[in-house]
Structure 1
Amino acid sequence: MSKENGLLLAVELDGRNESPRALKEAVTAAERAGFTLVTFGDALVPEADEKNRIDAGTRAAFVSSTTSTIGLAPTVHTLTTEPFFLATQLASLDHTSHGRGAWVVGADNRSAAHDAVGSTVRDADAITPEVRDVVDLARRLWDSWEDDAVIRDTATGRYLDPDKVHHVRFEGEFFDVVGPLITPRSPQGQIVVIGRADLGITDLLDIVLVDDPTSAAEHDRLVFTDVSVTEDVSPLVGVVDGVRFTPASAGEFGDLIDRVAPALAEAGALRRPEPGRTLRENLGLDHPVSRYAVTAQN
């Protein structure tokens, strides 16, 4: 997908003090305005001024059945979430959204977050290796079922072909997992993985989030940059693949939907997702073949 065709739009909804009704209305409004992606910020331990914050994965699942084109990307933290559960949760989101699941890779290393799950704060030089192992393992688990593993053969009573469900046998520094995943391969095969450039795992990402859009050429992945609602993003056409707006208030979100997105569409600078496509397809990403299927064929 060429950057010259305009910008893919994303918006961050951090979920602070947001009711389920307000969440549903916001995501629906973003979808109608032509946004390709909504991200859901998260924190294991809410801030003092937050009330009844619902975790990002639950928020994404909640709106999955009432939307049809927009990608749904909860933040799930790698240092405080069990990797097998993480991979299962995200695969399930891809199933419920019919192929619109994504994941913003989080690495919350605050003592309060670790205290909540009984883990320990990581040394700075240990964060990237552990995050890398979690993302690598998740991708392996998503590949553990081949696309056609589920056969539903009523004549023989066979639900799946066991030869197409694989053990991943992951052995790392931080955890060992045999697998396979308990969830069949999801519509996208691989959920879209999003992460900041400074995580040090760019090669494992589908979308890289950068602070400086001029650094986009350094990455051979899709590149998004965070912008404010008041920022003129038209100069970024051809520089980055997309922008993620971070509204600071309900008023800014309304301005984003009512003014900014329509203006970009009128100027031909908005790349709107097409109905009936998965998020990967709307991002111009291929449907990946399971690495285990390739190995089996060889």
Structure 2
Amino acid sequence: MSSPKTLHLAVELDGAHPETSPPALAAAVADAERAGFAFATFDDAPVPPASGFRVDATVRAAYSAAQTSGIGLAPTSHVLTAEPFHLAAQLASLDHATHGRAAWIVGTAATPAALATVGRAAPANLRQEVADVVEVIRRLWDSWEDDAVITDLATGRYLDPDKVHHVDFTGETFSVKGPLITPRPPQGSLVVLAAEDFADVVRPDIVLTGNLQHRRQAAPLVFGELEVRFDSAARPPSGRTRYTGDPAGLVPFLAQLDLDGVRLHPAAKDLPLLNQEVLPELRRRGLLTPPEPGATLRATLGLPRPENRFAVSSKGIA
């Protein structure tokens, strides 16, 4: 008899834990790690929430890096309200801070209010600009070869300049010369997630879908989006599958899904029940394998570490 297929689980901590003070955030992420989640996600939006100021999602993830050793950390960062070069450096730094446990959820907010935060007009072609930003960020992550840093104390040389490359990217709305100011991320490339609507232009490692019934081969991994409210009177969420039964019933519900993983969106009051009842039962049944301390997120998810395009080219293989 074949062993049951394991399921990767992620948890969105923004809605589940709106309190973003450092102690509260540290406790929420630590609880998620102990429960066995593959990674935690941190939502974000260019426009501050009605409750007022909120620390940037990437900063929240970076803070959480020092509090954890196995769980992946995945902030949402929006491509239209940040400079591609700075976004690439910020995300690469996060992967260094986590020792290879970082991911990036590609945010595509393009409302007038979002764009007004940086004083720009709507793009003529949203999908093309999203594609350009993601492409140049991946090129910038590759602009340092893995062995570019040599730190030769005897000669005072820090890096090999022949292994640091210009990316020379020109898109419809911006251009970037490069190279990046940050060495290549430990994972080579962060794990990239994108909504199903943008999967064709982002080419993500993980596509996020609201449809839990039909698995589409749009990316190496497919994760369903699931609202969790352990309350039969819960109000249906918009555009996302919901679960409103009890914790015991969620286990067989998840077990029957033909997906690589699920990102759970619990309410604050329901997060402890996930940690204390649902994930332990999934682990007992062999349906969930927690990340190993010190493992990269790519290793946890079974994703290969990508080749550096410039290193391959310099060897005459490309």
The secondary structure found in structure 1 opposite 2:117 is: helix
Q: Distance in 1 between matches of 2:49 and 2:37?
A: 28
The secondary structure found in structure 1 opposite 2:77 is: strand
2:288 to 244, 261, 270: 270
The aligned residue for residue 31 of structure 1 is: 33
The aligned residue for residue 255 of structure 1 is: 273
The CA deviation at 1:188 is 0.6
Which one is further off, 69-78 or 19-28?
Answer: 19-28
Alignment of 1:55-94 (within 5 A): 55-94=56-95
The CA deviation at 1:159 is 0.5
Whether the 8 Å contact between 2:206 and 2:219 is mirrored in structure 1 is: no
- Measured against aligned partners, the alpha-carbon deviations of 1:50-101 in whole angstroms (never above 9, x if no partner) come to 2331110110011111100011110000111110011000000000111011
The CA deviation at 1:186 is 1.6
Give the TM-score, by structure 1 length: 0.93
The CA deviation at 1:236 is 4.5
The aligned residue for residue 19 of structure 1 is: 21
The aligned residue for residue 141 of structure 2 is: 142
Q: Distance in 2 between matches of 1:181 and 1:106?
A: 21
Q: Distance in 2 between matches of 1:287 and 1:218?
A: 20
Identity percentage over the alignment?
Answer: 53
Q: Distance in 2 between matches of 1:104 and 1:17?
A: 21
Q: Distance in 1 between matches of 2:47 and 2:212?
A: 31
- Measured against aligned partners, the alpha-carbon deviations of 1:250-298 in whole angstroms (never above 9, x if no partner) come to 2111111111111211222112111221111111111112100000000
Counterpart residue identity of residue 143, structure 1: D
Alignment of 1:232-251 (within 5 A): 232=250, 234-237=252-255, 239-248=258-267, 250-251=268-269
Which one is further off, 158-167 or 220-229?
Answer: 220-229
The aligned residue for residue 8 of structure 2 is: 8
Structure 1 unaligned regions, length at least 5: none
The secondary structure found in structure 2 opposite 1:201 is: helix
Alignment of 1:1-298 (within 5 A): 4-14=4-14, 16-48=18-50, 50-122=51-123, 126-201=125-200, 204-229=203-228, 230=230, 231=243, 232=250, 234-237=252-255, 239-248=258-267, 250-298=268-316
Counterpart residue identity of residue 65, structure 1: A
The CA deviation at 1:169 is 0.3
Counterpart residue identity of residue 129, structure 2: E
Whether the 8 Å contact between 1:17 and 1:51 is mirrored in structure 2 is: no
Whether the 8 Å contact between 1:3 and 1:241 is mirrored in structure 2 is: no
Whether the 8 Å contact between 1:3 and 1:240 is mirrored in structure 2 is: no
- Measured against aligned partners, the alpha-carbon deviations of 1:151-190 in whole angstroms (never above 9, x if no partner) come to 1111111110111101000011111001000001121111
Q: Distance in 2 between matches of 1:234 and 1:290?
A: 41
The secondary structure found in structure 2 opposite 1:105 is: strand
Q: Distance in 1 between matches of 2:313 and 2:111?
A: 40
Counterpart residue identity of residue 292, structure 1: F
The secondary structure found in structure 2 opposite 1:156 is: coil
Q: Distance in 1 between matches of 2:128 and 2:87?
A: 17
Whether the 8 Å contact between 1:146 and 1:185 is mirrored in structure 2 is: yes
Whether the 8 Å contact between 2:19 and 2:25 is mirrored in structure 1 is: no
Q: Distance in 2 between matches of 1:6 and 1:197?
A: 22
- CA RMSD of superposed structures (Å): 1.8
